[in-house]
Structure 1
Amino acid sequence: MMTIRAHWLIICLAVFLALGSSTGYAQSGSTTGAITGRVRDASGAVIAGTEIVCLQVATGTERATQSREDGTYEFLNLPPGDYEIRAMAAGFEDRRQTVRLSLGTTALVVITLATAGTTDVIEVVADARNAAESATNVRETDIPRLPINRRDFLQFAITAARTVPDNLPDQGATATSGLSFNAQSPRLNNLTIDGLDNNDATSGSIRSTFSQEAVREFQVVSDGYSAEFGRALGGVINIITKSGDNTFRGSLFGFFRNAALSARESLTPSKPPFEQYQYGLTAGGPLRPNRAFFFVTGERLNIKQNTVVTISDTVRAAALRNGFRFDTGSVPFSTGGSTALVRGDWQIVPEDNLTVRYNYGGQVNTAFEPFGGLTASTFTGEQRLTDHNLAVNNTFVGQNALVIESRFLYSTRLQDIGAADPGPRIAINAPEGQVIFGKSLVLPQFRDTQTYQFFTAVGLVRGRHQVKFGGDLLRVNSRQRQPASEGGQANFSNTNLVALGAPAGSPVLSALQAFDPSLRTPEQRAALALIGASLPSRFPGFPALPLDILPLTNDYRQGFLDPQPTPIPQTSLSLFALDDISLGPSLKLNVGLRYDLTRARSTPENNGLLSPRVAVVWQPLKKLTVRSGYGLFAASNLTFPIFTVVPPTRRTLVLPFPFSILPFTQPNRQLPPSGDFPFGIQFVPQFGLEFQFAQRLPASYTQQASLALESQVGNTLFSAVYNYVRGNRILSLRTINPVVRPGIDPLDSVINGRLDPRRGTVNEYAAAYDSYYHGVTFGVERRVGRFTGRASYTLSKAIDNYVDFRTSLQEFAEPLDISGERALSIQDARHRLVLAGIWDINYSKNPLLRDYALSYILTAVSGRPWNLLAGVDLNRNGDANDRPAGLGRNAGVTPAFYNLDVRFSRRFINRERLKIEGIIESFNLFNRTNVREFGRTFPPINPPLNTQFNLPPRRGGRFIVTPDRYRRAFPPRQFQIGFRITF
């Protein structure tokens, strides 16, 4: 790894190389673009003092400048849209040209002024990025025309290369962003709206968004972003909202789908009920022509659907006999949500623009904690969420290309999730896989979060340099009640009765027999009766219990918390400076430096991270551009681990056998809320569960390097990109006090055999993990004409040694050996192909054969890694996360994922002031069964020998998922019909 001193040497070298250059190069911003170029005459000589006016066509706002002595000019911080450029110089004809500007790009416009009576020539070079970032833009004209399921505009990110859906199980109350960039954690991305934060600081998910009708442009920056962007190890999703203009416009739209329009899910014998309605409106226009504008939109989504629970009748009958009730088959639930956005824009003076935006999101979800497959509906909860955001942006453009940007955000988010079941949570390693029912470990949950953000930046153009510097302050005040096993949890797996004190040769209990006494054989009951009779003498004070008729859980844990929410304040400070330097007409250099520091209650303090970044853009040939860059990128701190560690009243018990039996002798199969042991048994310190931070908690960061080749042939852009991402000091969780001296007696091992025998289970959050990613992407993009689209293929490999910071996802075989966990990342996607396009079918003068449009998004991803589990504690270190037969982590591979979404539309009325459009969309057109959940547990065949396992077959050296293990799939083919009226 390069040292900080080496990073500074790169910056100093870059500045030294720039000393001889003489022309400026305009930088695009996080919410804007730029237009730059040069004015010359027919002979190629530059023309100084040319008056150039830039008119935004929709709003009528103008900016003016003059070309410099070298003929160069620029217009900075321009909102995306259509612009008219007018050039006027004495002795020459006036020239006009329309330019379409995209978010985060720079349009290069070379103006050739002709003498009176000759033809005007203005050369427009297509939008160009003057940095080395890999960015994908979805423009305003494409956003409503692509087939996006549920109109969730975040799904546009899947059209970008090296962006894949999160491969972790659904997280519900602790959801991620749902997207992994370059195989990095989906919790460590950054979503900005109008340049301001829109992330959930608790878990790294995304705060409520709004209708896609309100999105002017959507940009995905997967790597190499400038120093202005930060708080992300993965990617940046950059969104700007629509504004009104000088023309009043509005629209009404609605979409509908149901079971009759959908195929049957392959894992169910019949179609469950299903209905989905989505409808809304937009309106925008002038409050004062050329000066003040408004835009509003609102949208509603209602869904009634079913999830299929595939728990076997045998397990369900056993649960009923022991007092646990749940439904199997198709289980109904509903989701409803409303969003609204209001935006106003005021051109206070030609140099000063003010924008105010308010957006609201509200949602009720009766299945927020995911269930289905082998997880019963009792595991879920009902979420009620309200989210309010107020954003203010001000941009001042002064003389000599001075730009001052100021932004402010206030957000309040209230989320309350109730539990569907009082508990406990039961996990049984049944023959079909791990069956889960009862209460979720993280419910009920309450969060009340206020977010404040202040951002300011100053941009200057001085000769060959275009400098920008600034910073922002992000304050998050969050109160949260975050339980951990509050209702209790019990795990049942194959049990060796001899290890519990039964005579040699006693039979083994299966996991289902351990849970349900009625399934036990006479020999098993006799052995358990002997064990039960011996317990009072082995453990003084322990009651004589009839173990032969009681559930025999391997371990039981329960948390006891203060019911009052815990406040966690967190403050993040960021400072940045960057310089875009022109080393000549075909060579540009970008250097930047960013500093990030986050301080939060009860976390170890650190000195933040200084992140240098450097990039080069070189155009050796007119049709060829070479981009290269390197930099450090720091992650944002998340408050979820802090809530786990901070509460001083948190107390969690972890009970091994035989104490694990006691809660099941109590009412409701759990300990009383006080946390007192029944029968007056004294608490043993080694039965506790603690969470802590490591003594040092440095900032997590990635090193990113890239090399890209781009060639423009006509209206088609070809590209080849290599990306390297090295994750350093990634925050994750592991147990640091496992059993290291296992004995014959499991209880003695827990009490006396730990690394530190004075403590119980200790889970530690540490910035001690890393990752590696290599990827090569080939892309094609066509930007104009009746057909527009893009295609990308990525070949990549990702390796890491961590999964996530949630305890339920920790699957370390040997938690003290991090190096032994190094394997393919769960986010690895070796091959990925994405095609997205829009085809305007409008070739005939016959009214019945024109005004059609066809669009599509095709995604193909090769199988993803998965981890095989034994379901028992093979190495007797106190957990049940061991892998069968000593396999390495993530030794399996899932089936490939293929999906095609298609949209077909026609405008029946296509007038200038009125358009009526009919729409048919199909999601998963070919009705492919894409597996979402499958059984991963393969217990030993002959315990306690634990040497043979019924493992699945291998293909290419990796274990595959066989169809008998399928538990849940992504939705089958669904058709949706809709309409849009635009006026």
Structure 2
Amino acid sequence: MKNLFGRLVLAGFSMFVLCFAAAAQDLDDITFSGRIADANGLAVVGASVTATEVQSGVERTVMTGDEGRYRIIELKPGIYKLKVSASGFGAQEKIDIQTVSGQNVQSDFQLVPAGVTAQQTVTVTEDDTPLVDTTRTIVGGTITAREIEEIPNNSRNALDLVLTLGGTSEEALSTRDLAEDRNAANRQPPTEQGNFSLSGGASYSNNITIDGLDNNDDRAASDRFQPSLESIAEVQVITNQFSAEYGRASGGRINLRTKSGSNKFRGRVFMFFRADDLNANTYYNNSTFYKTDNVYRYNGGTGTATNTTLLGTTLTVLRDPLERLPFTEYNPGFTFSGPVILPFGEGKSIYDGTNRTFFSIAYENLNLLDTTLINTYVPAGTNLRFNLPVSTGGPQVCENFLSTSNSNCSNGGAAFMLPYSKLVSTPNQRNALTARIDHKLFENNDVTLGWQLGRKRNQRQNIESTTKLEEALQGTSGNTDAINFTDNHVFGAKVVNQFRFQWSTYKPSFETKNPDDPVVLITYADPTTSTFTGRTLIAGNSSASLTASGIFAAKRKENRYQFQDSLTVVAGKHTFKGGFDFQRINSQNLDPTDATGTYNFGNSGTGVTTANFTGPCTPAPCAPATVSYLGVQNYLLNQSTRFRQNFGTSSDIINTYWGIFLNDEMRLAQNLTLSIGARYERETILSDNNNVGPRIGIAWDPFKKGKGVIRFGAGIFYNRVLLRTIDDFLVSGQQDLFDSADISGTATRLAVMRAFSAQFPRKFASAQELRNFINPVLVANGGIAGDGFSGFDGFLTRLVDTSTLKIPESYQFNIGFEREIGKGFVFEANYTWNKTVRLWGESNPNSPNLGLANSRLGTNFQSWTEYLQSISTGNFRYVLGPTNDNVGISTGTCSAASPCTVNLNTTNPSTAASAPIGLALEAVKIFKPGYNVDPNLSNENQQELLGSVRKSSYQGLILELRSRQKTFGLGFRGNFRAVYTLASLKDDGLNNTSDAEVNGDFNREWSRALQDRRHRFAFSATFETPSWLGKLKLSPLFRYGSSAPFNLSYSGIDRNLDDLSNDRVNFSGDTKDIKWRKPGSPVPAELLSQFSLQPIGANGGNLPRNAGNGPPLYIFDLNMTREFKFGERMRLRPTVEIGNVFNAVVLSFGSGFIDYSTFGVQRPSVTAATAPPIGSTILLTNGLETFENNFLVPTRAYRPRDIRLGFRFDF
């Protein structure tokens, strides 16, 4: 339904049907239903049926109707007993009935006359409860408390258990379970990439809840709070939510249900420990890295007259194997629950909450110890305006390192510096606390009050050493608090209302401990390197993003108020459920990059953007008479060479979400259930108000024995709005960056920096305050008021129209079959189809427009290549020349009288203004739509326009075989789940900020998605061994995924001239041959020869998106536990968890870029500057061969074998 009329018709039809059919399925609670009959099978009318939650004593009673049927709705999951009594009959009771969320427990009773028998009590074991819920219409699975505790979980994050189920996959560009290599700055996936994909839905559009209330980070598409694994009673995963009760997800819903208290005090103390001494080293740490060098014999001559003979190549060791990263992790915690008794302890209680008030609390701490070496130099002198730490010891050295500089410590142009080396603690710490109180307010009303507290700070740097001082070390933080309230009111046997409220706050950041301080950067030369490498001492603060790792500086706060209400009404065979969900999200964000003022003390005269501070040499007589000061000396003289401060980087977005739903489930027959409903959703951040989602589900038991069911479901679902995407586009229009490097004129820039130096280390409160300060200086020294500000020309880089942007929507269909086979086994099969449209993507509205060029010129050019070839005036002529030309431009004066030739087939990768690509970009820029027309469009630069332009499609077949806890023989017991998924996922982009290779043409991008592993298999189990094997409990987890695709690009070089750096290349072979390689494998020379470059200006390469075939995935983990009992209540369970049991090497590209970039790279030649001895050997790195050896080789590996030791002590 792609138009308003169609949606209204469908919604109207849904409401029409709702008037005649009803009964809503609850996804968080449970239902008991069945039939009470006498010995002859006749209905017993008016029988009393009571369900009692064993741990808390809370009970609910209903009466049977005319057909002897009963239905008890909206009960909390737990262990129950059912008691039936009727006049003239003996009472019956079933005890120890285990339940999980969303379950409809069918339990029939056959009563015997009272004179024949007394009350009967039947203990219900797992073997007695139905394995298949024949009335359930939603599709998904539940991970129970037993599985949560026993299944290996390397991260101890409950959400990672989702991947043990079918129809699930990791997010695109996932780095989960990858090893941490020493000295590696590995990229992380984009923060908006999400956490996993359910049934082919976008990995950034899942609805994660805790006890039914929102637990999402609406800006970064992740979860807000991670409770202790020990506090979770079950993980409920709904992959196809054909009930209308929940929304805000085209993927699926994951609910974490926390444990509640009971009438008995129960507690647990636990501790887990990991250390690098217990682990294997990572694959790449163990690897030796080489470079390929060409070996030459020197025959004589210098410069271009150098005479050499190529002798061959040699491998030079770049790096020997590295040791493991230091790693010591302590993970203690506790849980405690029971009735609320005040005061607690000996003596008389003023309040005894037995059977009425219960509490539960869980706390977990993680402390991963790590250190970082600060290895830098500090000035030997002082600057009274800013304090730096004193040296940790060592000889002083002069900072002079520029071979072309006459500045040194003898003539005053340079200064002395001293070593500073310090090992500082940089741990990863996390604390999670959950607490709840459940209270029976009165007979038909119970309430729950919950509290969540999370504190985490990760300061691990994952680098060998740093030049940042301790106060400038950045870390990721995430602090959160939440209070929630639930009220369940029973108006009678047939009407139940549930009201929920939540307030939460979330404060993630990537910043230093003192983020409001200015940033101080001092350039110096590292005397410990053979080439005196230039480095930067970073002090005071650091606001830089780790762009190489995909980590961006940020400081934000997200406050949320949520109100939920649902009313359930039983009317004969119908159970109606309707309600609303209201959320108000206030998302505040600050980009701290240069926001507090950044002062550079660099080397004078080394660039066109720095102030060139000079002065007389001292002490006289000395030479040269005038010296340019170097970085450390500039600091000591308080002469800052560059100043930046960014304003308008904060944003405050308020998004109000509300959804209303009506769902209706009808027992059309004893073996046939129909669920139909509709949901309307609205998010005020966008103008999109056309979001009606009808849903239908059918459950049919063709065998009428309660052991098998066929399910059918379909519906329309809507994503939630990712606020980061909206925020990034809106904030770009308000940022105002001042950078002294942008000031034209050397003298003006120097005068400006003298003024800023006099203010060091001041930061300015506003852009206007800075303008008021600097504009008079600019004007007085030949500049223009406002110069240096990025907003000076009214330039906007990002555009979004929230009135036309649509919320992405998906159309889902599922048909499945579930059947009990044998005793204690269930087989389930599901086929799912999921199409998502209106996904967000970017285009460049200011790209050179070929249609505009043809319109102006009266031509019919099919590409910019044709246009460039037609140019017959000016200084350049463009031709299609040799394809092995790595220069691309002829020599000469390049004038109108003597134009130079530019080869559009050149392999020269440079985009400099004087290189072929740069010249071509200059030639076509006049056809940019905003060129000298619209002041809001850049004349020359790329812009990003956000639109609802993308789509995805998924088909999946899921086959699952599982067993309940059962005896296998020879004393072995256990349960297992084996899931196979055959799936295909296609899309036309990675995430909300994806753009197409050919500007705006996303149809051309349609291909396999990055997380599309055609075959997936997951096996999880728990096996209890007999006494002759030590009564060990073994819990394996095995996951396999076939090859996933990867994208092969051209190093971000823009050959098609659309200002988008995502070009691909031409390929003449079979894309099935583009496969990942093992390190050290033979170079695929034939494959390399099949790649070529399209001419500059061509629309794009013919290599499809995501054409590569990456490595498969397989993980085998094992958890071993032994239980020791001490009396009736106390149990000690030591545990050993082994990750990657066999230390298998599994490679991955992670989030890294994969490029084909050898075009234009020549095999090296030698030009000796000074004459070495005749006959000596010269080595020169062979960059081409080095690239070929690494082409298609994954740069990361999955975690090696690691061991976690721990125990749980229950009392």
TM-score bracket relative to the smaller structure = 0.7 to 0.9
2:342 aligned with 1:277, yes or no?
no
Quote the residue 2:930 is aligned against: 756
Within the alignment, does 1:783 sit opposite 2:1001 as a pair? no
Secondary structure at 1:151 match in 2? coil
**Corresponding position: 1:292 with 2:357:** yes
User: Residues 374-413 of structure 1: matches in 2 within 5 Å?
Assistant: 381-413=474-506
Contact 1:711 1:718 in 2 (8 A): yes
**2: CA distance, partners of 1:265 / 1:850:** 33
Normalised by the length of structure 1, the TM-score is 0.80
- Residue 124 of structure 1 deviates from its aligned partner by 4.7
What's the counterpart of residue 704 of structure 1? 812
Deviations along 1:75-127, one digit per CA (max 9) or x if unpaired, are 11111111111111233222111321111111111112233547999985336
Question: 1:219–1:239: 8 Å Cα contact kept in structure 2?
Answer: yes
Matched, 1:234 2:251: yes
Instruction: Indicate the residue corresponding to 1:104 in structure 2.
Output: 102
> Match of 2:651?
566
CA, structure 1 residues 977+354, in 2 after alignment: closer, same or farther (shift >3 Å)?
same
Partner of 1:936: 1154
Return the structure number with greater relative CO, CA threshold 8 A, min gap 6.
2
Matches within 5 A, 1:332-411: 334-367=427-460, 381-411=474-504
Is 1:866 aligned to residue 951 of structure 2?
Answer: no
1:284: how far off?
Answer: 0.4
Q: Counterpart amino acid of 1:927?
A: N
Q: Displacement, 1:384?
A: 2.8
| Aligned-pair CA distance for 1:830 | 1.3
Amino acid at match of 1:941: F
Summarize deviations over 1:606-630 as a string: whole Å, max 9, x none.
2140100001111111333100110
Match of 1:153 in 2: 158
SS in 2 for 1:188: coil
1:635 to partner: Cα distance: 1.1
Q: Measured at CA, do residues 748 and 484 of structure 1 come closer, stay the same or move farther in structure 2, by a change above 3 Å?
A: farther
1:87 pairs with 2:194:
no
Distance (whole Å) between structure 1 residues aligned to residue 749 and residue 1054 of structure 2: 22
Structure 2 Cα separation of the partners of residues 686 and 136 of structure 1: 56
* 2:1097 equivalent in structure 1: none
1:370-421 residue CA offsets vs partner (Å, 9 max, x unmatched): 9789999999941233211000001012214101000000112223321699
Residue in structure 2 matching 1:795, options 979, 982, 1006: 982
CA shift for structure 1 position 899? 0.5
Taking a change above 3 Å as real, the CA distance of residues 656 and 802 of structure 1, as seen in their structure-2 partners, is farther
Q: For 1:67-466, what aligned pairs fall within 5 Å after superposition? A: 67-98=64-95, 99-115=97-113, 116-117=115-116, 124-126=129-131, 128=133, 130-168=135-173, 171=188, 174=191, 176-268=193-285, 269-287=322-340, 288-304=353-369, 334-367=427-460, 381-418=474-511, 439-440=545-546, 443-466=552-575
Q: CA deviation at 1:455?
A: 0.6
Matched, 1:581 2:690: no
Matched, 1:610 2:692: yes
What SS class does the counterpart of residue 141 from structure 1 fall into? Answer: helix
2-side partners of 1:199 and 1:108: how far apart?
34
The one of 621, 625, 628 aligned to 2:712: 628
| Contact 1:371/1:380 (8 A) holds in 2 | no
| Cα distance in 2 between the residues matched to 1:792 and 1:132 | 20
For the structure 1 residues 630 and 163, does the alpha-carbon distance in structure 2 shift closer, same or farther, using more than 3 Å as the test? same
The AA in structure 2 aligned to 1:609 is: N
The answer as to whether partners of 2:841 and 2:995 remain within 8 angstroms in 1 is: no
AA paired with 2:720? S
Matched residues in 1 for 2:101 and 2:448: separation?
Answer: 17
Query: Aligned equivalents of 1:811 and 1:243: distance in 2?
Result: 48
CA drift of 1:709 comes to 0.8
Deviations 1:949-969 (A, max 9, x none): 999999xxxx9932xx42x33
Cα 1:126–1:263 shift into 2, 3 Å: same
The CA deviation at 1:484 is 7.4
Deviation at 1:234, TM superposition (A): 0.9
Q: Is the 8 A contact 1:443 1:483 kept in 2?
A: no
- Tell me how far apart the structure 1 counterparts of residues 262 and 957 of structure 2 sit (CA, whole Å): 42
Q: What SS class does the counterpart of residue 185 from structure 1 fall into? A: coil
1:824–1:662: structure 2 CA closer, same or farther, 3 Å change rule?
A: farther
> Residues 962-973 of structure 1 correspond to what in structure 2 (within 5 A)?
962=1193, 965-966=1194-1195, 968-973=1196-1201
Are positions 1:980 and 2:1208 aligned together? Answer: yes
Report the equivalent of 1:883.
1064
Which of residues 52, 59, 64 is equivalent to 1:55? 52
Aligned to 1:832: 1016
What letter matches 2:282 in structure 1? E
CA distance in 1, matches of 2:739, 2:929: 17
Of the three residues 920, 941, 944, the one matched with 2:1136 is 920
Aligned counterparts of 2:820 and 2:161: Cα–Cα separation in 1? 24
How many angstroms does 1:708 deviate by?
A: 0.3
Counterpart of 2:1074 in structure 1 is: none
Structure-2 change in CA distance of 1:784 and 1:257 (3 Å): same
Q: Which amino acid aligns with 2:981?
A: T
Q: Which amino acid aligns with 1:248?
A: F
Q: Indicate which of 5, 24, 27 corresponds to 1:30.
A: 27
Q: Which runs of 5+ in 1 are unaligned?
A: 309-319, 425-436, 490-516, 519-527, 529-557
Q: Which residue of 2 aligns with 1:547?
A: none
Equivalent position of 2:636 in the other structure: none
- Equivalent in the alignment of 2:394: none
1:287-319 superposed Cα distances (whole Å, 9 cap, x missing partner) = 1111110111111001135999xxxxxxxxxxx
Q: 1:182 and 1:375 mapped to 2: Cα distance?
A: 44
Q: Name the SS for the 1:142 alignment partner.
A: helix
Distance 1:895 1:331, change over 3 A: farther
Q: CA 1:137–1:252 in 2, change beyond 3 Å: closer, same or farther?
A: same
1:961 aligns with 2:1192: yes
- Alignment of 1:857 with 2:857, yes or no, is no
Q: CA, structure 1 residues 20+645, in 2 after alignment: closer, same or farther (shift >3 Å)?
A: closer
Q: What is the SS of the residue equivalent to 2:60?
A: strand
Report the alpha carbon displacement of residue 884 of structure 1 after superposing the two structures with TM: 2.4
Q: Hey, what does 2:798 align to over in structure 1? A: 691
User: Partner of 1:727 in structure 2?
Assistant: 836
Q: Secondary structure at the match of 1:928?
A: coil
- Alignment deviations for residues 130-177 of structure 1 (CA, whole Å, 9 cap, x no partner): 343221101123222221123211111111212122123665893544
C-alpha distance in 1 between matches for 2:25 and 2:748? 62
- The 5 A counterparts of 1:664-683 are none
Matched residue of 1:150: which SS?
A: coil
Contact 2:694 2:716 in 1 (8 A): yes
Q: How many Å separate the matches in 2 of 1:332 and 1:796?
A: 46
Pair 1:458–1:753, CA change in 2 (3 A): same
CA distance in 2: counterparts of 1:165 and 1:336, whole angstroms: 25
Q: 1:264 to 1:377 in 2, by over 3 A?
A: farther
Change in 2 beyond 3 A, CA 1:829/1:375: farther
Deviation per CA, 1:216-275: give whole Å up to 9, x if none: 111011123411111011111111111110110101000111111100100013322111
Partner-residue secondary structure (3-state), 2:726: helix
Could you say what secondary structure the match of 2:451 adopts? strand
- Residue 16 of structure 1 deviates from its aligned partner by 7.9
Higher gyration radius (CA): 2
Tell me the equivalent position of 1:596.
681
Q: Which amino acid aligns with 1:478?
A: S
The answer for unaligned runs of 5 or more in structure 2 is: 175-186, 286-321, 341-352, 374-400, 404-413, 415-419, 522-541, 599-604, 609-642, 757-762, 765-769, 851-863, 869-875, 877-912, 967-972, 1067-1100, 1163-1183
Q: CA deviation at 1:907?
A: 1.3
Cα distance in structure 2, aligned partners of 1:222 and 1:960: 38
The alpha-carbon distance between structure 1 residues 372 and 704, as it changes in their structure 2 partners (threshold 3 A), is farther
Q: What one-letter code is carried by the residue in structure 2 that aligns with 1:636?
A: R
Return the offset for 1:837: 0.9
- CA shift in 2, pair 1:419/1:969, >3 Å: farther
The 1:703–1:933 alpha-carbon spacing in structure 2 relative to 1, beyond 3 Å, is closer
TM-score under structure 2 length normalisation: 0.66
Equivalents in 1 of 2:691, 2:464: separation in Å?
43
